[in-house]
Amino acid sequence: MLRRLVIERLGHRGEGVARAKEGLVFVPFALPGETVLAETEGERARLVDILEPSPDRIEPFCPHYGICGGCAVQTLAEPAYAGWKRGLAETALRNAGLDWPVEPLVDAHGAGRRRVTFHARFEKGEARVGFMRARSHELVEIEACPLLEAALAGAPAAARALAQALAGRGKPLDLAVTATTGGLDVDIRGAGALEERETLTLLELAERLDLARLANHGRLVTLRLPPGVMVGKTQVLPPPGAFLQATAEGEAAIARLVAQGVGEKAKRVADLFCGVGAFALRLAERARVTAIDADVAAVEALDRAARTTRGLRQIEAQARDLFRRPLDAQELARFDAVVFDPPRAGAMAQAQALAGSAVRRIVAVSCDPQSFARDAAILSKGGYAAKFITPIDQFRHSPHLEVVALFEKAAEAAPRRRLLSRQ
């Protein structure tokens, strides 16, 4: 149905939200205050024409905008854009019943994204590589993405060449590419076990493309150069496909806030869901750190980096599933501060244990405002109050948002610490 709609606001996925008789309608690429012509089907709509544009509308800088689903909001000028992103955290907190102020948005795009995942599909034996349309399984071929840092300029072509080498399988592929100090680090996913001839072809391609490392489902195909990533003063060699913050500036900005939250007086710090040590390796410059994550390979990479770096205090790296076995109040009692940076789903069980602990300072890092607000509400019920909540924008033009917050427990709300025997 073709209809005229007035856009009231941007939703949490970056879509324009209009109100119709039957309920809300979501219009991708429309902006607040605009009157648009849209083709609707239920609550979903396709933007056909902009009848009355917003005064905050600007021209998109990417020719794929409106087709590729990677960017949701590229035509909204500052400060309206920053206000929308900050509002994602404010709305999530309000919905969780928390009336806490949110700091201004920190722009952490920096030089661009240092990691990207391309999708590969095959048509008549030819590899097509790019990103997906919004809310679609249709591939949009990409030759270049202006949001990627310069070191990833050759990534689309490399991904296409590698996918073409596996065209005979006809399977949809994902190719995760990371910029490292040694060059491009690629992990192919979806191919399954490789045949010998495929492995030989990929080895030749890795040489021709000058890749640092090539892996298939995390299993090493070839290692030509150390795929290093700098974490503060330390070089880490992450396992294939390891999680990293999207931009180097994003990681640095988050780490600065984490260090601020932990404070200079903390002597023992726990870094939960530590990954390869983005925070632990920096915090260890002034405190003893216990770093815990379920990803064994990531923990091993952190441990190797810590052992080969001078000037760090002790880092105790442990592999442990904190969803199934969160640190309890007794285990937490020995720490002056705790940092936790869980996956998108948050860390309800660990937040509950923290809420009942005697830890005075807790720094929460989250890539999802909704799960952050839920975990923050748990901490609030345990007597914690937020001292700062800062939104960080490293996924520029997307609805993704990082949040860093410091929580402190009032002295009167803190339970008595248990005396731990020294063994």
The catalytic site residues sit at 367
In eight-state DSSP terms, residue 411 is G
Q: How far apart are the first and last CA of the chain?
A: 72
Crossing angle of helices 155-165 and 196-209, rounded to 10°: 160
The rounded Cα 381 to chain-centroid distance in angstroms is 27
Q: Pick the closest to residue 129 from 170, 162, 99 (CA basis).
A: 162
| Among candidate residues 317, 326, 340, the one with its CA nearest the CA of residue 254 | 340
Q: Where are the beta strands (DSSP E) in 268-330?
A: 268-272, 288-293, 315-319
The DSSP call for residue 52 is E
User: Residue 385 pairs with which residues in a beta bridge?
Assistant: 408
Phi and psi of 49, rounded to 5°? -155, 150
**Which region, left, alpha or beta, applies to residue 135 given φ > 0 means left and ψ of -120 to 50 means alpha?**
left
Strand partners, 364: 340, 405
Contact 364, 217 (CB under 8 A): no
